[in-house]
Structure 1
Amino acid sequence: MKHNTQYGTRLLFCSMALTSLLLGCGGGGDGGGGGGGREAQPDAGVTARLPARSTNIALTSDDRRLVVVNRQNDSVSVIQVKDGNDVDVDAKLAEISVGKEPRYVAITPDDQAAYVTNAVDGSVSVIDLAAATPKLKGNPIAVGSEPRGIAITPNGTYAFVANHTEGSVSVIQIRTNQVINTVYVGGNPMAVTISNDGDLDDRDETVYVTRFFSELADPVNRPDGFNDAKRGVIDYFGVGAAIASGAGVAQLYIEPLADSGFSADRRQFCGNTRDILQSQGDVVFFNAGVDGDGDGAASLASDVFCPDNFSVDASAGGAIGRDVQGAYPNQLFSAVLRDYNLYVPNVGASPEPPVRFNLNVQALVTTLDVGSGYQVTTNLNNQIKTETPPADPGASLTRLFANDVVAIDANKSGDDFLVVSRGGNYVMRATVAPDGSLDLGAPGNVVRFQTGNIPTGVVMSQDGTRAYTNNEVSTSVTALDLIGNQVLQLDIASSKPPAPGTARHRSLLGKLAFFTALGVPDVLDLDKDGNFDIDVRDIQPLAFRGKASDNAWSSCASCHDDGHSDNVTWIFPTGPRQTIALEGTFANSDPRDQRILNWNAVRGSVTDFNNNSRGVQGGIGHATDVGGVNRSAEIFNHGPTSGISDALDAMTEWVATAVRAPIMPAPDSDAEYTGRQLFAANCSSCHGGEKWTKSSVLAYQNNPTFAANPLAANFFAQGRQPALDPNLTVAGPQIVALAIQGDVLRLLDDVGTRDGSNPLEIRGAGAIGGGLISIPGDPNEGVEVSPQSTQGFASLGGAGFNVPSLLGVAYHAPYLHDGSAATLEEVFDRHRLPQSGGQPISSVISDADDLEYLKAFLLSIDDETQPF
């Protein structure tokens, strides 16, 4: 590994000969570009000591003042953390209202101003830090849609802002606070970091921008659903070229990790081992009949996930029972640059089956040498697994896995790192191993610091003795002593959380339940007056360790950051399924109007997903101690929608009231008018209404829909488990259609997108049955049915799919149930319109310009778009 920040960028430019992309390597005063049109370099002031990075908590250069983004309260706080004698203090100097939903902050190298991105407003607020009391300075600077990361060049001349839903980076001239250029990158830009060669000229620096979502490396031959299908993307360009309107953009790639350190049991995905498991009585497969003696093993849909078709080793410890699993990088929240090395934490995805808590998401950190291209990725969970489980889990951070690593910082020399586990409520410390990867010191020397609730940012002091975290849900700061490895203060108030008893408080506790990988109390209304009484800072998720997941492995937010989709196609119990964004789940004007859930309409409420915590995430769920009663068994697909536990009701309320659609750039007038008319004529019958989908639980009995679990023993009754509403047509847990006053509303539509020849159309996990058949009068009433495994069977979808919402559709590529359409053009070619004789959209609308108008309208749909 190379170690020289000051010369790294220049070597990179020269070795790659990207003179049109970056600046030249010559010593010309204009940066080697030679362009007479280049803007003159403003007089340099103070030069930053370190490369800039995106963060939501920042320190002034003297380590005395923190600037903290309070996303929940649309404000920024300035907190003094050191006095003139270098003594730790916690004095809030000011709280300044900024734009709606601030996300990131950057401080100029001279400590005179802080720049804050406001996601909803599409702007940057400037805070005057030189004033006696910090205050807003001037008007907000308009940038692109949904701005996220911001970083300032070493001499404070330019700020670069990632416009998350616009695929661009705005360039702000600090001297004038005006946008002077826009650089178009790709994907959904998130974090920005800028090199620092230590000189007085910012034009020879390089800007690195992470794309939040990973992208398919070989869409034709390796679709999503495989652990190595995608790679992370980092765009980069030169500052000089960017300000001269000539920035070409190149890419660095983060490759999948071949071995995550965890293995999967693939014995049910290979023909030979399935037969052996069945013959030994170890597994009863689906289609084996009520008595379980049929040959269900023969119904393997494909061997695509079988590591060895010839092996007859069906032992749990054999090669097929312990098949090594990889993971690809995804959700690139953050990056920090030290020397040549870019350190990028991300939420790794392993979508291959079976679905299991330690195989789905991983805590990856990639070290990428931007000069040579060398990279090494470590899975922090692979290190953590070597720790010894603690004697008292609810009082110890030991062996907590690294859920959702969303932020990183390092000391100046790049040998001491801090990594944030959002859902684990802690920060871990790491050093650098000889191969350049991060090393936690496991098993015996792992250092963790407990934080306030849901930390999303961290900053280390320049002297390396202190660090501070931004705890988003607690609206607080945790102060860390890096000399003594101890927490100085858990919750320094950055802003005031909503008061218990208010609607905002209920929603905030729901956000905590959604984001935590540990747990929250099942009961939040202590005096049973209908209000949630516990202050958010008084909830210690560590005390409820094991409820949300196994040892903080995952949370709902791991796949649904901010309620959106991770854009991963998982091989789920129903088949290959693209993660569904939650912004179209509830109608804004009527929370009773909820979309039926999942691609196959197999779930009816957020409460149903408590069984994800139990069955997928390895936890016990949030219904085990409701007034001393374990109510977990009362939850099943299309069972009770509310009233099981306060924690689950709070989570439902957060999804219903706080999850918004990503804001999209407005279309031009032609697309708005013509595209809208085309949508009205061809799409609105299925994608109408506030939720942009006809799917709804509102018109039938849904609390509960079934009197008993439709996937339990009654699935094997002749009539299966009937719906309580006689107007419903169901197929097991699938809600197929609803009879309304003589008409039939199809809720599962066959639009021709399921390809039965696709080997990925396979079920990744799950079982049906278990218990006594209890349908009165059924021939098999009273017969006990063993659970029957559905692993390896053909996917669901023959009856059609539950219509997805189109809110924020531009943000959630790829498309269709299996993520097999990378673009809307591919959707137009494959999606058939039942009302048009089953013709694909591109045949019904044959004019190329009209298809472009329709596409532009679709890509603009957000909460501000008038529904049909």
Structure 2
Amino acid sequence: MTSYRWARLAPAFAALCAILQACGDDDSGPGAGPGVTNDGGGGGDDAAPGDDVQAEPPRKPSPLPTHGSSIALTPDDSHAVVANREAGTVSVFAIDWASGSPVLTKSAELPVGGDVSNVAVHPSGRFALALSRIEQKVVRIDDLGGAPKLGPSLATGSEPTGIALTPMGDQAWIANWIDGTVFVVDTEAMTLKSTVDLNATLAASGLLGAVAARPALSHPRSVAITNNGNNLDADETVYVTEFYAQHKVPLLADGSNADVAKVGVVYAIPVKDPNDVTIIELPPLADLGFKDHKNGTAGCFPNQLLSINIQGSFGYVSSICASPKGPGGPFTGPAAADCIDDGACPGALAGSCVAGKCTTNCTTNAQCGANGGVCNTTTFVCAPNTANVKTTLAPAVSIIDLGAAKTIATVNLAREFETSFDARNVPNDGNRRMPLTAMDVGFVPGTVTAYFPAKGADAVFRVDFNATYEASTIDGVGDPKAPFINLTPAGVDASRIGRLPTGIAVAFKTHTEGSTKRFAFVNGENTRNVAVLDLEAQDLAGRSEGTPNVVSSSDLPTDPVAKTRLEGERLFATGLGRWSLRGQAWAACESCHVDALSDNVTWFFPRGARQPNSLDATFDSKNPNDSRFHNWTAVQDEVSDHEMGAIRGTMGGVGAIVKNGALDPVNRIAIDRIGQAGLAGSSAQAADPANPGSLAEACVVDDWAQVTAFFKSIRSPKRPSTLDAAKVDQGRALFQEGNCQGCHGGPKWTTSKVFYTPDSTNAVNNALKDRSWSAAVLAASYPPSLLPAVTPLNQNMRYNGTNGGLDSMICALRPVGTFGVAEAAVGVAELRQDMATPGQGNELDGKGYNVPSLLSMTVGAPYLHAGQVRTLEALLASPFEVHREALKSGFLAPGTPDREAKVAALVQFLLSIDEAAAPLAEPALGPNGGSFCAP
């Protein structure tokens, strides 16, 4: 029997097992604690003849494979356990099924530590386990069916993110995201049994080049464990997702293979032999199903692997599939042509030639894009062509044949739902939503019907997979009753909507005799509640009766500052409303910044090939008035500057600097044309409804102020727990010896700092174009090789030329020999979004890059502006000598005594840099570096 054909029977077999296990159920139920034996209170081990001895009930495995989530049910559906991530608590709900529809009553809310990532319930239903990323521990919650209380806890590795229990519940497998390890924990004793080092596995795979195993090479995120239905755990397999995609082939110089140069990774770990770890690759998708505006095909590779679950003999992995090759964002037609009179311009309209440039740009649709181009024959201007928005990223699911240890398909769920919406004639507006940021996947037991809670869409999406995968992958999406389950339907009280869903738990059973009606429970992270779904009605349970079944899991903040920050976090994560194309959840800020960090993808943006910066160093966590310049060439000085490139551009949204709240692009305030975008003016003042700059048009929403408040709260990941303290100290000394603090000193671990207050009048911003730093660097004996401009007239704080595509805060740039330089196995394409124009960073005047922070080095690989190097070890080797020796000639050069050990120590120090690490002071401007930016 092939694994494909076994899949026909596996779901039914699993359901049969669950039914048989439920028959004759006489265990002590969720009320008993772990390991409790019902011995009637006697203390002896031997029973005397005639004694009435109550035997311990037989142990039973979980009815289904297990995986971690932010919400979980006991196998009898009598209790739900919910992670309240930001509140730092776990709530336990008792569920009453007497009416046939679940009624939830919160029996406890228990503090377990900040950033609760995952929960899991023991198959007995007696206790649950919860992970705290901030406190780095796993906490047991006992007596779920009685008076839930905190049980023992155990220290984990750094940033635990995923947990799953073996079918019998004896072991918990915990993914330590920063350490790169998986803990195996005895759930009754709450002791560590063993540690699986996935760093060693990834290092040995060759995907990272030649590197020795050490912490933070691997980034295990989610966990799932098989269940063959017997009472043995040793014959099961644990599957763990590697969060970031890995380089498989070098990037070509023209960037043509950028969409398919990486692969996703899942680790398979046999329970009986945890040292025998193997890797299953998730290959790239050659065609994600949409064409760009040039009618070109786009692929994507699975990245940011968000969840994994198992049904039958297949594993299902949700991810954000990245398609970084240009073009990207709405295409607005050919650039303005030069002209001497109106007759030289397209359409020859009177007044179309202005200051030597045409204001018209088309006469045919083809000029506006081979796919979807429309030229307005009245104005002779291209309508924005949004085809590229759909070829940037995709909510994907990869299906793994577990028996064959091979990925059989990766599917772009957005393509599936778009096709379904078209067939159903769903209006092409906000009535459509894509399953953006699918944080979990739950299956209806005994079927291949899955439900994906989409954090970026405030909805749950049904997908019916094919039972065998011999002829197709997906049989259908959505349901005739509803294309998706909307957690925020119109007309519902705000207390009964669910925002930013992160987990789903489908009831194990139906609870009305003779009925197939089943329910599911969804954790709304932002609204801190649990929404009950009626899967038969494909709706919020109770909504048709007037009161949706949605219950609070934890109180929302009442402090105005906390409320503003919470709303900013929601806006950062959503693709609805004004934040993506037609409000349909095609993308969100979080799409490239899960946990507000970096997705580690090299995108081809308007300024060149760029890795998104982690956002934790945007502001000094101890001084919210200290911020760094944004992006790799210091082209923005305020968070709201992302209105243009990210929101209106890449994501295709209306944006949040608007003169009218209606979701129509005509309501945008043209901040680029009025000098309030990028380094010009102040987009923050333009985004402020109070209109402090007295601009002609006032913004009517304050979304960017809320997003900025969220940015100021972003935390850096904690350092690995397995670092060698002596090596960290040695590495710190080496860091100072190399004068690395000359670029990476200060509280943000970077010299990049916005040194003025952006001004809507442009008086301050424009003055920087004429403010020279030449005399200062000369007097201080600053190294000439690190100067970002060589022409004295152009040695000014800000770019003073006329090419808007080169505007940058030049004084913040440092040329350290990284343009066009890469590991041979990685490659680099220094190109802009059109995949033809050279990227910014190698100009004679305006050379180099905005110094990145060293916070989040644990999750920042590959490194540098275009992701040219996979490891810190490689960054300290050839061909990156110029960077390594930027402020000390010969630093760690080949031949240095004990070089290998010193490099290892320096790497340990770099990995130790988190918010608790004491920063090194930035030196005064001089031969050892420092900043020469000044107002």
**Residue number among 442, 447, 454 corresponding to 1:409 in the alignment:** 442
In structure 2, give the amino acid aligned to 1:55: S
1:338 and 2:290 aligned: no
Q: Which residue of 1 aligns with 2:527?
A: 474
1:730-766: per-residue Cα shift (whole Å, max 9, x none)?
564767668xxxxxxx41110001018977111115x
1:306-334: per-residue Cα shift (whole Å, max 9, x none)?
xxxxxxxxxxxxxxx31211111011111
Alignment of 1:449-528 (within 5 A): 449-451=485-487, 452-463=498-509, 465-488=518-541, 489=548, 491-499=550-558, 501-518=559-576
Q: Which residue of 1 aligns with 2:744?
A: 687
1:60 and 2:74 aligned: yes
User: How many Å separate the matches in 1 of 2:655 and 2:86?
Assistant: 26
**Residue number among 111, 120, 140 corresponding to 1:126 in the alignment:** 140
In structure 2, give the amino acid aligned to 1:586: F
Q: Which residue of 2 aligns with 1:230?
A: 262
1:191 and 2:243 aligned: no
SS at match of 2:390: helix
Alignment of 1:661-700 (within 5 A): 661-665=717-721, 667-682=723-738, 683-697=740-754, 699-700=755-756
Q: Which residue of 2 aligns with 1:855?
A: 907
1:351 and 2:324 aligned: yes
Task: Select the structure of larger CA radius of gyration.
Answer: 2
Q: Which residue of 2 aligns with 1:250?
A: 278
Q: Which residue of 2 aligns with 1:565?
A: 598
In structure 2, give the amino acid aligned to 1:458: I
Q: Which residue of 1 aligns with 2:652?
A: 618
User: How many Å separate the matches in 1 of 2:894 and 2:407?
Assistant: 47
User: How many Å separate the matches in 2 of 1:7 and 1:469?
Assistant: 25
User: How many Å separate the matches in 2 of 1:671 and 1:80?
Assistant: 50
In structure 1, give the amino acid aligned to 2:191: Q
1:606 and 2:670 aligned: no
Q: Which residue of 1 aligns with 2:477?
A: 441
Tell me if the contact between 1:46 and 1:156 (Cα under 8 Å) persists in the aligned partners: no
Tell me if the contact between 1:346 and 1:364 (Cα under 8 Å) persists in the aligned partners: yes
Tell me if the contact between 2:465 and 2:475 (Cα under 8 Å) persists in the aligned partners: yes
Q: Aligned pair in 2 of structure 1 residues 593, 415: CA closer, same or farther (>3 Å)?
A: same
**Residue number among 629, 632, 636 corresponding to 2:677 in the alignment:** 636
- Could you state the TM-score of these two structures normalised by the residue count of structure 1? 0.76
Tell me if the contact between 2:456 and 2:575 (Cα under 8 Å) persists in the aligned partners: yes
SS at match of 1:367: strand
SS at match of 1:678: helix
Tell me if the contact between 2:478 and 2:484 (Cα under 8 Å) persists in the aligned partners: no
Tell me if the contact between 1:195 and 1:205 (Cα under 8 Å) persists in the aligned partners: yes
User: How many Å separate the matches in 2 of 1:632 and 1:220?
Assistant: 37
User: How many Å separate the matches in 1 of 2:622 and 2:887?
Assistant: 32
User: How many Å separate the matches in 2 of 1:224 and 1:670?
Assistant: 45
Tell me if the contact between 2:399 and 2:410 (Cα under 8 Å) persists in the aligned partners: yes
User: How many Å separate the matches in 1 of 2:425 and 2:764?
Assistant: 39
Q: Which residue of 2 aligns with 1:832?
A: 882
User: How many Å separate the matches in 1 of 2:528 and 2:881?
Assistant: 45
Q: Which residue of 1 aligns with 2:830?
A: 761
Q: How far 1:835 moved relative to its partner?
A: 4.9
Q: Aligned pair in 2 of structure 1 residues 220, 620: CA closer, same or farther (>3 Å)?
A: closer
**Residue number among 185, 188, 194 corresponding to 1:172 in the alignment:** 185
Q: How far 1:403 moved relative to its partner?
A: 1.3
Q: Aligned pair in 2 of structure 1 residues 438, 95: CA closer, same or farther (>3 Å)?
A: farther
Q: Which residue of 1 aligns with 2:709?
A: 653
In structure 2, give the amino acid aligned to 1:636: A
Alignment of 1:218-297 (within 5 A): 218-219=249-250, 226-242=258-274, 247-265=275-293
User: How many Å separate the matches in 1 of 2:742 and 2:57?
Assistant: 60
Question: Kindly, what percent of the aligned residue pairs are identical?
Answer: 30
Q: Aligned pair in 2 of structure 1 residues 702, 60: CA closer, same or farther (>3 Å)?
A: same
SS at match of 2:855: coil
1:779-808: per-residue Cα shift (whole Å, max 9, x none)?
xxxxxxxxxxxx621110011000000101
Tell me if the contact between 1:597 and 1:605 (Cα under 8 Å) persists in the aligned partners: yes
1:80-100: per-residue Cα shift (whole Å, max 9, x none)?
333445442131111111122
In structure 2, give the amino acid aligned to 1:806: L
Tell me if the contact between 1:366 and 1:437 (Cα under 8 Å) persists in the aligned partners: no
**Residue number among 584, 590, 593 corresponding to 1:551 in the alignment:** 584
Q: How far 1:590 moved relative to its partner?
A: 1.5
Tell me if the contact between 2:73 and 2:507 (Cα under 8 Å) persists in the aligned partners: yes
Tell me if the contact between 1:124 and 1:143 (Cα under 8 Å) persists in the aligned partners: yes
User: How many Å separate the matches in 1 of 2:130 and 2:225?
Assistant: 17
Give unpaired runs (5+ residues) of structure 2.
15-55, 200-217, 330-388, 488-497, 511-517, 542-547, 689-701, 767-792, 921-935
Q: How far 1:843 moved relative to its partner?
A: 5.5
Tell me if the contact between 2:588 and 2:651 (Cα under 8 Å) persists in the aligned partners: yes
User: Which stretch shows the higher mean deviation, 835-844 or 378-387?
Assistant: 835-844
Q: Aligned pair in 2 of structure 1 residues 92, 445: CA closer, same or farther (>3 Å)?
A: closer
Tell me if the contact between 1:234 and 1:251 (Cα under 8 Å) persists in the aligned partners: yes
In structure 2, give the amino acid aligned to 1:137: G
User: How many Å separate the matches in 2 of 1:209 and 1:647?
Assistant: 37
Q: Which residue of 1 aligns with 2:836?
A: 792
Q: Which residue of 1 aligns with 2:627?
A: 594
**Residue number among 844, 865, 869 corresponding to 1:817 in the alignment:** 865
SS at match of 1:810: helix
Give unpaired runs (5+ residues) of structure 1.
10-41, 266-320, 519-543, 711-722, 739-745, 766-790
Tell me if the contact between 1:570 and 1:577 (Cα under 8 Å) persists in the aligned partners: yes
User: Which stretch shows the higher mean deviation, 588-597 or 42-51?
Assistant: 42-51
In structure 1, give the amino acid aligned to 2:837: F
In structure 1, give the amino acid aligned to 2:832: R
**Residue number among 44, 49, 54 corresponding to 2:63 in the alignment:** 49
Q: How far 1:477 moved relative to its partner?
A: 1.1
Tell me if the contact between 2:324 and 2:604 (Cα under 8 Å) persists in the aligned partners: yes
Q: Aligned pair in 2 of structure 1 residues 153, 671: CA closer, same or farther (>3 Å)?
A: same
1:118-176: per-residue Cα shift (whole Å, max 9, x none)?
111110010013462211012x2111110011011111111100011111110111221
User: How many Å separate the matches in 2 of 1:618 and 1:845?
Assistant: 52
Q: Which residue of 1 aligns with 2:418?
A: 385
User: How many Å separate the matches in 2 of 1:123 and 1:696?
Assistant: 36
1:677-716: per-residue Cα shift (whole Å, max 9, x none)?
111232111101111100000x234345946999xxxxxx
User: How many Å separate the matches in 1 of 2:256 and 2:724?
Assistant: 33
User: How many Å separate the matches in 2 of 1:816 and 1:840?
Assistant: 19
Tell me if the contact between 2:463 and 2:477 (Cα under 8 Å) persists in the aligned partners: yes
User: How many Å separate the matches in 1 of 2:919 and 2:181?
Assistant: 27
In structure 2, give the amino acid aligned to 1:151: A
Q: Aligned pair in 2 of structure 1 residues 218, 733: CA closer, same or farther (>3 Å)?
A: closer
Q: How far 1:352 moved relative to its partner?
A: 0.5
User: How many Å separate the matches in 2 of 1:620 and 1:128?
Assistant: 49
Tell me if the contact between 2:677 and 2:683 (Cα under 8 Å) persists in the aligned partners: no
User: How many Å separate the matches in 1 of 2:12 and 2:579?
Assistant: 48
In structure 2, give the amino acid aligned to 1:470: N
User: How many Å separate the matches in 2 of 1:359 and 1:221?
Assistant: 20
